[in-house]
Amino acid sequence: MGNMKVHQLARGLWEHEPSLSLGCKRLRPLAPKLHPSSSPDHTSVSSFDLKTFIRPESGPRKLCPSDDKRDSHSRQVETHPGGTRWNPTQEQIGILEMLYRGGMRTPNAQQIEQITAQLGKYGKIEGKNVFYWFQNHKARERQKQKRNSLGLSHSPRNSAPITTITLDTRGEVMEREEDSPYKRKCRSWSFEYLEEESRSSSSSQEEENRTLELFPLHPEGRS
Amino acid sequence: MGNMKVHQLARGLWEHEPSLSLGCKRLRPLAPKLHPSSSPDHTSVSSFDLKTFIRPESGPRKLCPSDDKRDSHSRQVETHPGGTRWNPTQEQIGILEMLYRGGMRTPNAQQIEQITAQLGKYGKIEGKNVFYWFQNHKARERQKQKRNSLGLSHSPRNSAPITTITLDTRGEVMEREEDSPYKRKCRSWSFEYLEEESRSSSSSQEEENRTLELFPLHPEGRS
DNA sequence: GCAAATTAATGATTTATTCAAG
DNA sequence: CTTGAATAAATCATTAATTTGC
């Protein structure tokens, strides 16, 4: 299923006849995508508990094994036989959140590479994890914002105190995140599926100007 | 350009086709939950000043109490050797440089607090250290840039710097600029930075150099 | 106390939308 | 109007956290 350029193709096809047999060509190798119309009752199909087989660690829990090699990171089993999803460590989450709070929303390729290299010290990670994390975190922060605004938009009892911090002279009111939704930059980077050949390398990094937008700074004079 | 841009490239992950699709139980109400109650250690700051930064925050947050700073990283002396100055660890430097490269120059107090809290996991640090680091680093990068611009009037011949950053899960042999006949089809993600303009800034070159030196891939040395 | 069952959280994919070229 | 890039929204799927019965 080394299918590439799928979504365009799919759109062209499915937007006309979504339920055609062609549409059955799901890309997902497993987990039969149920169509809304023909959705079987997925009411807790108590099939085998393969879960117990593929994850034979339900019983033993690591009781802080002191024999482990440095047992470094909090959790995150490093066994990834076949490919489990990324299980971030606390350090990684902390750094990512720090970056997010710093203003980063959609890091470009170079930044992702840097971040990945950095976070790789604290656990297994790859670039796409970083990318997805920012995507998800951004989206879910938005959701949270929206929910909160609906629920308790009234009587804003200073729920989010803008702490007026005083650091020497640069006490700064950090403007909240939430960049405007239509601030599309042409930071065009994309994922590629290195499958056939190396593309003509003709790119370069260095986007100091752009990064300045990612990080809302407050250039101020020296004290 | 026969681009193979695929957005669903995780095919590689599934190429193993790990197992049968166990009964994926759908049906998840998943109410909008806010306040996870186990929110990370974001000490809700209300206000502080530079003195407040001085806070030996190194509280463990792991479930496993056998937590111990991996000595491979915490190369610095744990015990505050008297009244000496801050001796940053490799992690701290890496994170700070990552932030710097991300565009941060003069973080405000809140950001400094966050950074300090984060970096405190890897060694003793105070807020003022973060603040001074940014000040010094900014100034010294400027110096370096000035020096380089003087002695580096001619641009290097290497007009096509490798920039197709290839991130891979495992330690892949990343070939150098020269195209090696070794063109393995690694099924992993890579990031390509497409630029829309013919960048002609000579500073990009040294920028890249700095990147490499800022993020050594081997967390070693540094004591 | 343990572990299956359930739930909450979140990583990873897919689909829809938007904007800019051509 | 068509097409492609970029991204937001929605959805799927898996893991941890929690509950629950023993």
Cβ neighbours of B190 in A, within 8 Å: 127, 191-192, 194
More confident residue, B55 or A1: A1
Q: Residues 144 to 183 of A: which have CB under 8 A from any B CB?
A: 144, 147-148, 161, 163-168, 170-172, 174
The whole-number average pLDDT for the span A30-35 is: 33
Domain residue limits at B117 = 87-149
- Interacting residues of B93 by C-beta distance below 8 A, sequence separation 6+: B222
pLDDT, tens digit (0-9, with 9 covering 90-100), for B127-146? 888 888 988 888 888 777 76
Tell me the pLDDT tens digit for each residue of A50-89: 232 223 222 233 323 333 333 333 444 444 444 689 999 9
B103 belongs to a structural domain: yes
Token look-up 């801050």 returns B86
The integer distance in angstroms from the CA atom of B184 to the C1' atom of D14 is: 30
| Domain count across chain B | 1
> What is the spatial distance, in angstroms and rounded to an integer, between the CA atom of A181 and the C1' atom of D1?
26
Closest chain B residue to A147 measured between Cα atoms?
B32
Considering only residues 103-142 of chain A, list those whose CB is below 7 Å from strand C.
Answer: 128-129, 132-133, 135-137, 140
> Which residue does chain B place closest to A143, by CA atoms?
B32
Tell me how far apart the terminal alpha carbons of chain A are, to the nearest angstrom.
60
Residue A13 belongs to a domain: no
Minimal CA–CA distance to B119: which of B44, B182, B56, B167? B56
Residue B161 confidence (pLDDT): 32
A94 lies in some domain: yes
Query: What does DSSP say about strands B189-193 and B165-166: parallel, antiparallel, or unpaired?
Result: antiparallel
Task: List the single protein residue with the shortest CA to C1' distance from C10.
Answer: A136
| Amino acid B89: pLDDT | 83
Element (H or E) spanning B100, and its range? helix B90-102
- Contact criterion met (CB below 8 Å) for B172 and B190: no
Helix (H, G, I), strand (E, B) or coil at A191: strand
Q: Answer whether residue B183 is part of any domain.
A: no
Degrees, nearest 5: CA angle A24-A28-A29: 100
Give a yes or no: residue A50 inside a domain.
no
3-state secondary structure of A172: coil
Find residue A27's DSSP bridge partners: none
Is residue B115 less than 8 Å (CB to CB) from chain A?
yes
**Contact status, residue A116 vs residue A126, Cβ threshold 8 Å:** yes
Nearest CA in chain A to B179: A198
CATH of the domain at B133: 1.10.10
Could you give the strand order of the β-sheet that contains A189-193, starting from the edge strand earlier in sequence?
A189-193, B189-193, B165-166
Q: What is the pLDDT of residue A125?
A: 94
Position A184 in a domain:
no
Asked whether residue A11's C-beta has any atom of DNA/RNA strand C within 7 A, the reply is yes
* Residue B122: predicted pLDDT: 78
- Higher-pLDDT residue of A56 and A189 is A189
CA distance A119 to A39: 41
Contact A216, B99 (CB under 8 A): no
pLDDT tens digits, A123-165: 999 999 999 999 999 999 999 888 777 665 555 444 433 333 3
Give how far Cα A21 sits from Cα of A6, A24, A37, A38, B190, Å: 16, 5, 14, 13, 33
Lowest-pLDDT choice from A43-57, A88-102, B180-194 = A43-57
Rounded Cα–Cα distance for residues A10 and A26 (Å)? 10
Domain for residue A211, yes or no? no
Q: Tens of pLDDT along B83-128?
A: 678 888 877 888 888 888 777 787 777 778 778 888 887 788 888 8
**Through-space separation of residue A30 CA and nucleotide D19 C1' in angstroms:** 30
String of DSSP letters for B145-198: HHHHHHH--SPPS--S----EE--SS------SSPPS------SEEEEE--SS-
